[in-house]
């Protein structure tokens, strides 16, 4: 698999984070198309500002493309409160995380239509940081062995307190093997499985849905349709094709003890010098993002003589 595209999904409230991501991004080492996906529609003023920042950045040779997901305002929301009961899944079939769930599937399908020859897509939210110079080249070198048996390659929870049926899910900040000839079928299965699972658990996000539905389909809590989805032999092939490359892409979100998390992250990076992407967001008591600080320190040390 050749990584030849990057997708960064955002909502308007994340615009400053996106600008900082572009400004801070180290040199990719090879030119790939960067798709900026927004939940509704890009404004001309936003495009102009981002293009200006892009032109002064180390990713200036990577062309920007803007994707409008055109999600209805009533469907583009993220409800974090899990205690809300009686959620209407008929009205909101993509659940409490409706906005990002819809945006994920629309983004991938729009990239398929814009650039059908995309072989490998790296999805990065604005809190997923490259921490190596020539990071796209380096990630390509590490993943060139991927074949048609791989669908997603990313990080399972490494420094987190995730438990239960989603304990081993692959985080959405990952590589997607769009060049796999069966990927469109996999994506269709994934979306159908997500919307069916949400009828049972409206709190699900797209990236945890495969693991959650697999374990739930084997219990009495499941419904007939979900059991039927997992009765398909292809479903197990898809799940096996979601592989862990936590030594390259590290997801560290979800730990309640910030200082302990910081120590664990540093130890993990010492033991895994091949880490290319560091994903997570921890704010200390001063409101500073310790992951972003760590990323900047790592890159500064790489450039020091």
pLDDT of residue 282: 75
Going along the chain from its start, the domains and CATH numbers come out as: 3-303 (3.90.550.10)
Structure tokens at 263: 């120590």
What is each CA distance from 250 to 150, 183, 218, 237, 276, in whole angstroms? 18, 24, 29, 24, 8
> How far does Cα 51 stand from its chain's mean position?
23
Q: Considering the chain, what is the average pLDDT of its residues?
A: 90
Pick left, alpha or beta for residue 150 (phi over 0 → left; psi -120 to 50 → alpha; otherwise beta): beta
Against a cut of 0.85, is the pTM above it?
yes
Pick left, alpha or beta for residue 70 (phi over 0 → left; psi -120 to 50 → alpha; otherwise beta): left
pLDDT of residue 221: 66
pLDDT of residue 192: 94
Confidence class for position 45, pLDDT limits 50, 70, 90: very high
Please state, in angstroms and rounded to a whole number, the distance separating the CA atoms of residues 245 and 262: 21
pLDDT of residue 286: 74
Average pLDDT over residues 142-151: 90
DSSP 165: G
- Tens digits of residue pLDDT in 157-205: 776 666 677 878 999 999 999 999 999 999 999 999 999 999 999 999 9
Please state, in angstroms and rounded to a whole number, the distance separating the CA atoms of residues 18 and 11: 10
- Tens digits of residue pLDDT in 209-254: 999 999 888 876 677 888 888 888 899 999 999 999 998 998 886 6
């Amino acid at each position: 698999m050749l990584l030849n595209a990057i997708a960064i999904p955002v909502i308007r409230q994340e615009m400053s984070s996106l600008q900082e991501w572009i400004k801070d991004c180290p040199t990719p080492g090879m030119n790939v198309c960067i798709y900026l996906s927004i939940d509704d529609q890009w404004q001309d003023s936003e495009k102009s500002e981002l293009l200006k920042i892009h032109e002064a950045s180390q990713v200036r040779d990577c062309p920007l493309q803007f994707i409008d997901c055109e999600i209805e305002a009533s469907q583009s929301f993220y409800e974090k409160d899990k205690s809300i009961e009686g959620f209407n899944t008929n009205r909101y079939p993509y659940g409490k995380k409706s906005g990002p769930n819809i945006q994920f599937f629309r983004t991938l399908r729009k990239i398929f239509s814009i650039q059908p020859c995309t072989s490998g897509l790296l999805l990065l939210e604005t809190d997923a940081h490259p921490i190596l110079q020539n990071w796209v080249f380096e990630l390509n070198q590490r993943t060139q062995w991927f074949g048609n048996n791989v669908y997603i390659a990313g990080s399972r929870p490494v420094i987190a307190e995730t438990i239960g049926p989603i304990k081993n899910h692959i985080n959405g900040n990952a590589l997607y093997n769009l060049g796999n000839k069966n990927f469109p079928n996999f994506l269709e299965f994934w979306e159908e499985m997500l919307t069916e699972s949400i009828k049972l658990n409206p709190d699900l996000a797209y990236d945890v849905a495969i693991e959650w539905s697999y374990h739930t389909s084997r219990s009495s809590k499941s419904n007939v349709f979900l059991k039927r989805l997992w009765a398909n032999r292809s479903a197990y092939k898809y799940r096996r094709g979601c592989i862990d490359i936590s030594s390259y892409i590290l997801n560290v979100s979800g730990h309640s003890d910030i200082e302990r998390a910081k120590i664990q992250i540093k130890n993990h990076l010492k033991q895994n010098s091949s880490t290319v992407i560091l994903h997570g967001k921890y704010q200390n008591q001063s409101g500073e993002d310790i992951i972003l600080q760590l990323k900047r320190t790592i890159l500064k040390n790489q450039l020091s003589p």
